[in-house]
Amino acid sequence: MSNTPSDHSPHDTDKQDVQYDPDDDSYNILQCTQCDTTALSVGRDDPPISCHDEPMEHINQVNMTVKPPDIREVLFQVFGLPKSGLDICLCVIGEGPLSASEVATKLDYDRTTVTRYLNKLVDLGLLRRSELNRENGGIINVYHSVDLEQMRLETLTGFYLWAGEAATLIENANMTKQEYLAENPDQDLPDVFWESFPHK
């Protein structure tokens, strides 16, 4: 009997908060010395990112701590891929080309669920789909992995898109809060403050 994996996000785990480490060169947070532009740099920073024709400065201290990201949570939040979607993607990468029925058999997943995520993975640019002529006639869709460098670029660019949307939400919240407090200096933020932001 095939399984129908849950589409819900994995449960949060109790992980210790992490703080920005300027000595960790896997990524850098930079700021412009002339405006409020802030940038995230992943990978090499050579030549340095510039703003107003001047190199941006590295931020060396961030007071806020954050919860360490979990790869399953990131894939779910950014791309809408739960564990089942990741399983399907890795199955095709490791053993493809495969049809939806073959993936469902290998993973013991419901074929409808497999087909849905295969199509989503194709739309995301993480897999590609082609048609294969059967020996006994007819055509079947099979799924292949894309070039790994292309996959790296697609996933990183997709995350940057999501991060930009998230940063815009935070900036809008900060601006709205600032405007409210300026207009109501003797009042605290109402409980319905967050409800004023649209849910996508």
| pLDDT tens, per residue, the chain with 200 residues | 555 555 544 444 567 888 888 777 788 888 998 998 888 888 777 777 899 988 898 888 888 888 888 888 888 888 888 889 989 998 999 898 999 999 999 999 999 999 999 999 999 888 999 998 877 778 889 999 988 888 888 888 888 898 888 888 888 887 777 777 777 777 676 655 556 555 55
| Distance between start and end Cα atoms, the chain | 36
Q: Does residue 87 contact residue 118 with C-beta atoms inside 8 Å?
A: no
Residues 128 and 89 in one domain: yes
Residues 85 and 132 in one domain: yes
- Sign (positive/negative) of CA torsion 42, 44, 45, 49? negative
Residues 103 and 78 in one domain: yes
Which residue range is the domain that position 43 belongs to? 26-66
* 161: in domain: no
Residues 84 and 125 in one domain: yes
Determine the pLDDT at residue 116: 94
Residues 81 and 38 in one domain: no
Residues 91 and 131 in one domain: yes
CATH assignment at residue 90? 1.10.10.10
* 53: in domain: yes
Residue with tokens 């399953």: 72
Residues 123 and 80 in one domain: yes
Number of independent structural domains in the chain: 2
Residues 133 and 76 in one domain: yes
* 178: in domain: no
* 172: in domain: no
Phi-psi region of 108 (alpha: psi -120 to 50; beta: other; left: phi over 0): left
* 182: in domain: no
Residues 99 and 117 in one domain: yes
Burial of residue 92 (CB within 10 Å: 0-12, 13-18, 19+) is: buried
Predicted structure pTM score: 0.65
